[in-house]
C-alpha cells in the first residue's frame, strides 16, 4: 500500500504473519470461503494501530501483535458475515461459520501466547459490541432506519474495533496518557466513515466523519508529527471512493 508509506514495513510484517499463522491452505479450504476482502478490509485496522504508534515515534512488537489480533477478530466477523438468512448452498453456509470460528480461536491463541493477555478484555468487549450491532441491524432491517439508529449500529459494528485499534496503538506507545482518548476518537471517526462509505443511503455521513477525522488530525498536529495519520486519511479517502469536497484537497496542503 504505497499510500501508507510510513508504516509499509510493519504493515507487510502483519500481512506476512497472518498468512503464515493461519493459512487456509492448511485447512484446504481457501477456495471455498471465497474471501473478497478489499484493501480497507485487509489493511485498515492494523494500519490504524500502526499509524497511531508511529505517530508516537516507533512501532514495537506488541503493537504489531495487537494489530494481528485485531485483524483476526475483524476477519472472523467478516467471514461469519457471509452467512445470511437467504437461500444458501451447504458449502456457502457451512464453511464460513467453521472458518470464522477457527479464526476467532486463533485470535485468542495469539492473545494467550504472545503476552497480550492483559488486553484480552478489550477484545472481548469489542466482539460483544460488534455482535450487538449485527443483531440491532437485523432487528431494524424491515423498518425505516433513522440516522440515529444507523449511527448506533455502525458504532458497534465497526467503530468499536477501529477505536480499539487506535487506543491500543496509543497505549502501547509513548503517547501521553492525556492524549490517548484523542487517538481513540480518531479511530472511532475512521470506523464511522468506513462503515458509512459502504452504504449508499448514508454516504453523506462520510463527509461528516471525514471532517471530524481532519479535525482530530489537526488537533494532534500540535503535539505530534502526523504524517502517518495523514497517510491513513488519504488511504481511506482513496479506497472509500467517496468524493470528498474539493476544499479538503487545499486543506490537506495546509496540514503538510
Partner 1 sequence: MNNKSYFKEILLDLNKVEKELIRVLKVDDPVLSQTCISLLQAGGKRMRPGFTLLAGKFFDYSFEKLLPIAVALEIIHMATLVHDDVVDASLTRRGKPTLVASWGNEISVATGDYLLAKALEQIIKIDDKNLSAIIAKVCVDMCQGEIYQIKYSYDVKQNFKQYLYRINRKTALLFSLCCKLGAMACNADKRGIWIMKTYGHCLGIAFQIVDDILDITADPKILGKPVGSDVRQGIITLPMIFALQDPNIAERLSKLLALDRKTEEQVQEAVDLIKQSDGIAKSNDIVQKYIKKGIKNLSELPDIPAKDALIELAEFVGKRTY
Binding site for partner 1 (CB under 8 A): 27-29, 76-77, 80, 83-85, 88, 90, 93-95, 97-102, 104-106, 108-109, 111-113, 117, 120-121, 123-124, 127-128, 130-132, 134-136, 138-139
Q: Which is nearer to partner 1, 61 or 113 (CB)?
A: 113
C-alpha cell at 26: 492448511
Q: Are 13 and 65 in contact (CB under 8 A)?
A: no
C-alpha cell at 168: 491500543
**Burial group, residue 176, by CB count within 10 angstroms (0-12, 13-18, 19+):** exposed
Least CB distance to partner 1 at residue 88 (A): 8
Least CB distance to partner 1 at residue 108 (A): 4
Q: Which is nearer to partner 1, 46 or 133 (CB)?
A: 133
C-alpha span between 94 and 113 (Å, rounded): 29
Q: Which is nearer to partner 1, 88 or 147 (CB)?
A: 88
Least CB distance to partner 1 at residue 93 (A): 7
Least CB distance to partner 1 at residue 27 (A): 6
The dihedral over CA atoms of 25, 114, 171, 77, expressed in degrees to the nearest 10, equals: 30
C-alpha span between 62 and 29 (Å, rounded): 30
Least CB distance to partner 1 at residue 113 (A): 6
C-alpha span between 98 and 105 (Å, rounded): 10
Q: Which is nearer to partner 1, 82 or 220 (CB)?
A: 82
Q: Which is nearer to partner 1, 54 or 136 (CB)?
A: 136
Please list, residue by residue across 207-221, b when 16 or more beta carbons sit within 10 angstroms of its beta carbon and e when fewer do.
Answer: bbbbbbbbebbeebe
Amino acid at each position: 500500500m504505497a499510500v501508507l508509506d510510513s508504516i509499509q514495513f510493519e504493515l507487510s510484517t502483519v500481512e506476512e504473519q497472518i498468512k503464515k499463522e493461519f493459512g487456509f491452505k492448511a485447512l484446504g479450504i481457501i477456495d471455498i470461503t471465497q474471501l473478497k476482502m478489499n484493501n480497507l478490509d485487509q489493511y485498515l485496522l492494523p494500519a490504524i494501530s500502526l499509524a497511531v504508534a508511529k505517530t508516537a515515534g516507533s512501532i514495537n512488537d506488541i503493537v504489531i501483535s495487537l494489530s494481528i489480533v485485531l485483524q483476526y477478530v475483524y476477519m472472523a466477523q467478516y467471514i461469519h458475515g457471509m452467512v445470511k438468512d437467504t437461500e444458501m448452498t451447504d458449502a456457502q453456509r457451512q464453511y464460513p461459520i467453521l472458518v470464522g470460528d477457527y479464526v476467532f480461536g486463533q485470535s485468542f491463541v495469539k492473545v494467550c501466547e504472545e503476552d497480550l493477555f492483559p488486553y484480552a478484555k478489550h477484545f472481548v468487549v469489542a466482539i460483544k459490541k460488534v455482535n450487538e450491532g449485527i443483531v440491532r441491524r437485523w432487528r431494524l432491517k424491515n423498518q425505516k432506519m433513522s440516522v440515529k439508529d444507523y449511527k448506533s449500529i455502525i458504532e458497534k459494528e465497526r467503530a468499536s474495533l477501529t477505536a480499539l485499534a487506535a487506543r491500543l496503538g496509543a497505549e502501547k506507545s509513548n503517547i501521553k496518557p492525556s492524549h490517548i482518548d484523542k487517538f481513540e476518537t480518531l479511530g472511532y471517526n475512521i470506523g464511522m466513515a468506513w462503515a458509512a462509505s459502504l452504504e449508499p443511503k448514508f454516504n453523506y455521513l462520510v463527509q461528516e466523519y471525514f471532517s471530524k477525522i481532519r479535525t482530530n488530525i489537526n488537533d494532534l498536529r500540535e503535539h505530534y508529527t502526523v504524517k502517518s495519520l495523514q497517510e491513513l486519511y488519504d488511504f481511506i479517502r482513496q479506497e472509500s471512493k467517496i468524493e470528498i469536497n474539493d476544499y479538503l484537497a487545499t486543506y490537506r496542503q495546509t496540514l503538510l
